[in-house]
């Protein structure tokens, strides 16, 4: 520790806190995760490829990734709208709705699952209006999208909200005084400013949806090839004591989630840098105004 | 900053520019209506459905559903799992925040990414990794069986899976907070002769208490509600290894819908309390920040 591994500091406890952090991280996360990759090594490459490209597995990836992309897109559009309405307008019940946005984080997925199923089944509150229209919401792919929209709802709202709050009204005033219509101001000034945050939120909602299990299993109907998501396929294989098969599919999911994690980190660096350069540029007049 | 804008607006904004930077009231109310409708359908209805279904057969049936021995066992196991997982991740979160927030060392950003890793992993895979490690077919399975130790399909596995899925909650709240607060106060305390632990308990802990509480309640909500990961490691033994979410699933699959929703209503209440506490903490933190800003502004004008 005498080389530049650590900068000098008079604050004690570096060895203890870092040692405990690394030990706990290794025991709970790193060692069990690497054990999974080790377990796949018991399969040959051909066997592994056969399992992860079986028609039933391919159908489950299509559903998991496809439904997640649709749900995340719904959340992107409505998340931007909700964030805008919550930040810019005042109306009765605004604060209540603002705190309710985090409900999907706080409500256990199994509770959300049975509740959404009850709402969208053919005799449910919304389901019985959809039934005469020939729309089958529960026990269908649409049900999967509905459940994933619920679980991913807070992400875009919560990433966009702080950016909108920090946006300087002067930019809009400048655009307006230079003759831009309101729509031009929104699409050319506001939209580019919130876009990095919105895309980060989209990616987070997508990543969460791909791995989601609890809220989906109740509403999806779980039919192989049609409404079976990838996490459910892993559980099915486990219940058949097909540990190697379950592990192979799990490794595919792990690789996908690590790729998404990397992407989200890059997006956050990108949007953070944009935000920072914006506040640095706009920083001075604001602080002057605060003192005046 | 918000105050600066509202202070300035009446002076600068003439009626014309005000109109140009705001939408017409028709557009405004339309946007509000769409947003509110979306939130009502996706947030309010599921919540209302839980409580209305739970009480569909009246209060006496509701209470009777909660008094079933299996429901009690599930509630107890959920409390045990959260009671171990939350303090464990709390201690870890504080240690990680101290190491990462107070010191500069090689590999820090990698460590932060690794701490976030459990959030990226599907709950089902989180459970699976423990089955692969401790299950009969697993790497340590034969050794555990020989020593008559049971981790998977027993309470220790449930606790481990719960710890895994709630792993980053406290740490990710505290790390940015400790980083933002800097080392000045701690260094002052240390040069004045305080011991390391005294500095931590008297200086650092009071500074981070709201962030800590915030992380703990989110961690607790997830710990009590986790379904996928726990489902894989539990083995679903009624009255023995069923947590509340798993008990809900069993009741639901047995078509005991009202009883399932009765147990679910307890978790929904927990979610509501979590949101309430969370809102209060955010309000408190905002108040503290505006006070600090006001103090800084007052100092600046002197």
Query: A21, B111: Cβ pair inside 8 Å?
Result: yes
CA-to-CA distance for A167 and B39, rounded, in angstroms? 24
CA-to-CA distance for A151 and A71, rounded, in angstroms? 9
CB A267 within 8 A of CB A225: no
DSSP letter for A6, please. Answer: B
CA-to-CA distance for A17 and A7, rounded, in angstroms? 15
Query: A16, B95: Cβ pair inside 8 Å?
Result: yes
CA-to-CA distance for B164 and A46, rounded, in angstroms? 32
Query: Of A4, A101, A115, which to mutate for an interface test with B (greatest number of B Cβ within 10 Å)?
Result: A115
At A205-222, the pLDDT tens digits run 999 999 999 999 999 988
Examine the pLDDT at B281 and tell me if it is beyond 80.
yes
At B56-115, the pLDDT tens digits run 999 999 999 999 999 999 999 999 999 999 999 999 999 999 999 999 999 998 999 899
Is there a single domain that holds both residue B128 and residue B43? no
Query: A176, B163: Cβ pair inside 8 Å?
Result: no
Residues in chain B closer than 8 A to A289 (CB atoms): 4, 7-8
Whether the CB of B191 is below 8 Å from some CB of chain A: the reply is: yes
B94 vs A168, A222, B19, B171, B209, CA distance in Å? 36, 41, 50, 7, 11
Query: B35, A86: Cβ pair inside 8 Å?
Result: yes
Is there a single domain that holds both residue B37 and residue B132? no
Query: Of A22, A111, A173, which to mutate for an interface test with B (greatest number of B Cβ within 10 Å)?
Result: A111
Predicted confidence band at A278 (pLDDT cuts at 50, 70, 90)? low
Is there a single domain that holds both residue B39 and residue B144? no
**What was the pLDDT predicted at A110?**
96
What is the average pLDDT score of chain A?
88
The CATH number covering residue B127 comes to 1.10.3720.10
Examine the pLDDT at A249 and tell me if it is beyond 90.
yes
Is there a single domain that holds both residue B134 and residue B249? yes
CA-to-CA distance for B75 and B83, rounded, in angstroms? 12
Query: B115, A84: Cβ pair inside 8 Å?
Result: no
Instruction: Indicate the CATH number of A58-107+142-275 among 3.20.20.70, 1.10.1040.10, 1.10.3720.10, 3.30.565.10.
Output: 1.10.3720.10
Which residues make beta-bridge pairs with B289?
A: none
What is the average pLDDT score of chain B?
89
Has residue B84 been placed in a domain? yes
DSSP letter for A133, please. Answer: G
Residues in chain B closer than 8 A to A172 (CB atoms): 21
Whether the CB of B142 is below 8 Å from some CB of chain A: the reply is: no
A44-53, A166-175, A196-205: lowest mean pLDDT where? A166-175
* DSSP per-residue codes, B76-105: HHHHHHHHHHHHHHHHHHHHHHHHHHH--B
Tokens 């875009």 belong to residue = A156
Examine the pLDDT at A283 and tell me if it is beyond 50.
no
Whether the CB of B42 is below 8 Å from some CB of chain A: the reply is: yes
Range of the domain at B36: 23-54
Is there a single domain that holds both residue B28 and residue B141? no
Residues in chain B closer than 8 A to A77 (CB atoms): none
DSSP letter for A190, please. Answer: I
pTM of the model: 0.88
Is there a single domain that holds both residue B99 and residue B183? yes
CB A254 within 8 A of CB B125: yes
- If you count residue pairs, one on A and one on B, with CB atoms under 8 Å apart, how many are there? 315
Query: Of A21, A97, A249, which to mutate for an interface test with B (greatest number of B Cβ within 10 Å)?
Result: A21
At A20-30, the pLDDT tens digits run 999 999 999 99
Is there a single domain that holds both residue B173 and residue B50? no
Residues in chain A closer than 8 A to B123 (CB atoms): 109, 211-214, 231
CA-to-CA distance for B52 and B41, rounded, in angstroms? 15
**What was the pLDDT predicted at A189?**
87
**What was the pLDDT predicted at A289?**
33
Is there a single domain that holds both residue B33 and residue B62? no
- A190: tokens are 């506001």
Which alpha helices (DSSP H) does chain A contain, by range? 14-25, 31-40, 45-52, 55-88, 94-100, 103-106, 109-120, 127-130, 141-166, 169-177, 182-185, 191-211, 214-220, 230-239, 243-291
CA-nearest residue of chain B to A255? B121
Is there a single domain that holds both residue B144 and residue B212? yes
Is there a single domain that holds both residue B45 and residue B171? no
Has residue B10 been placed in a domain? no
Examine the pLDDT at B177 and tell me if it is beyond 50.
yes
Query: A106, B271: Cβ pair inside 8 Å?
Result: yes
**What was the pLDDT predicted at A286?**
34
Query: A254, B121: Cβ pair inside 8 Å?
Result: yes
Average pLDDT over residues B139-143: 86
Average pLDDT over residues B257-284: 95
Is there a single domain that holds both residue B113 and residue B245? yes
Residues of chain A above pLDDT 90, percent: 62
Count of domains observed in chain B: 2
A249 vs A246, A253, B51, B152, CA distance in Å? 5, 6, 37, 20
Query: B104, A18: Cβ pair inside 8 Å?
Result: no
Has residue B228 been placed in a domain? yes
Residues in chain A closer than 8 A to B12 (CB atoms): 173
A144-158, A204-218, A249-263, A274-288: lowest mean pLDDT where? A274-288
At A136-185, the pLDDT tens digits run 999 999 999 999 999 999 999 999 999 999 888 888 888 888 888 888 88
Q: Where is pLDDT greater, at B240 or B155?
A: B155
Query: B187, A11: Cβ pair inside 8 Å?
Result: yes
Is there a single domain that holds both residue B107 and residue B34? no
CA-to-CA distance for B217 and A96, rounded, in angstroms? 19
Nearest-by-Cβ selection for B252 from A29, A30, A114: A114
CA-nearest residue of chain A to B245? A110
Has residue B35 been placed in a domain? yes
At B189-206, the pLDDT tens digits run 999 999 999 999 999 999
């Amino acid at each position: 520790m005498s080389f530049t591994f650590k900068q000098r500091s008079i604050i004690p406890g570096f060895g203890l806190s870092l040692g405990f952090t690394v030990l706990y991280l290794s025991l709970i996360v790193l060692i069990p995760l690497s054990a999974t990759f080790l377990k796949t090594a018991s399969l040959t490459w051909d066997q592994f490829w056969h399992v992860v490209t079986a028609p039933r597995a391919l159908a489950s990836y299509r559903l998991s990734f496809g439904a997640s992309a649709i749900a995340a897109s719904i959340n992107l559009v409505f998340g931007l709208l909700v964030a805008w309405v919550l930040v810019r307008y005042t109306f009765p019940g605004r604060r209540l709705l603002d705190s309710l946005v985090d409900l999907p984080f706080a409500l256990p997925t199994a509770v959300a699952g049975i509740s959404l199923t009850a709402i969208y089944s053919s005799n449910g509150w919304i389901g019985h209006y959809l039934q005469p229209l020939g729309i089958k919401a529960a026990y269908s792919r649409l049900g999967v999208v509905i459940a994933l929209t619920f679980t991913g709802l807070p992400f875009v709202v919560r990433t966009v909200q702080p950016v909108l709050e920090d946006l300087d009204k002067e930019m809009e005033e400048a655009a307006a005084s230079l003759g831009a219509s309101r729509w031009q101001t929104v699409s050319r000034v506001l939209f580019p400013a919130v876009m990095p945050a919105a895309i980060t939120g989209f990616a987070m909602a997508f990543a969460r949806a791909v791995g989601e299990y609890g809220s989906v299993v109740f509403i999806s109907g779980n039919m192989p090839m049609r409404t079976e998501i990838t996490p459910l396929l892993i559980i099915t294989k486990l219940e058949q004591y097909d540990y190697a098969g379950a592990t192979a599919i799990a490794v595919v999911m792990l690789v996908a989630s690590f790729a998404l994690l990397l992407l989200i980190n890059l997006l956050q660096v990108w949007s953070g840098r944009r935000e920072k350069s914006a506040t640095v540029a706009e920083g001075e007049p604001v602080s002057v105004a605060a003192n005046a | 900053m918000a105050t600066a804008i509202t202070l300035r607006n009446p002076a600068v904004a003439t009626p014309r520019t005000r109109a140009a930077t705001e939408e017409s009231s028709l557009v405004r109310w339309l946007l509000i209506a769409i947003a509110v409708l979306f939130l009502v359908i996706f947030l309010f209805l599921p919540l209302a459905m839980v409580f209305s279904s739970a009480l569909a057969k009246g209060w006496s049936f509701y209470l009777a559903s909660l008094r079933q021995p299996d429901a009690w066992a599930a509630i107890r196991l959920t409390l045990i799992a959260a009671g171990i997982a939350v303090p464990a991740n709390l201690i870890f979160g504080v240690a990680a925040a101290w190491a990462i927030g107070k010191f500069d060392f090689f590999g820090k950003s990698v460590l932060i990414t690794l701490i976030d890793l459990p959030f990226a992993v599907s709950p089902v895979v989180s459970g699976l990794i423990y089955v692969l490690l401790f299950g009969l077919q697993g790497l340590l399975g034969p050794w555990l069986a020989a020593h008559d130790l049971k981790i998977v399909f027993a309470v220790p596995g449930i606790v481990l899976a719960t710890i895994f899925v709630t792993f980053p909650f406290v740490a990710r709240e505290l790390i940015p907070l400790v980083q933002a607060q800097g080392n000045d106060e701690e260094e002052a305390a240390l040069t004045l002769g305080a011991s390391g632990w005294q500095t931590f308990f008297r200086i650092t802990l009071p500074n981070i208490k709201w962030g800590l509480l915030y992380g703990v309640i989110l961690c607790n909500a997830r710990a009590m509600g986790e379904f996928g990961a726990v489902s894989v490691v539990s083995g679903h033994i009624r009255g023995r290894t069923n947590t509340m979410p798993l008990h809900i699933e069993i009741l639901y699959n047995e078509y005991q819908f009202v009883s399932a929703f009765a147990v679910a209503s307890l978790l929904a209440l927990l979610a509501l309390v979590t949101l309430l506490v969370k809102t209060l903490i955010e309000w408190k933190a905002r108040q503290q920040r505006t006070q600090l800003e006001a103090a800084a502004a007052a100092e600046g004008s002197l």
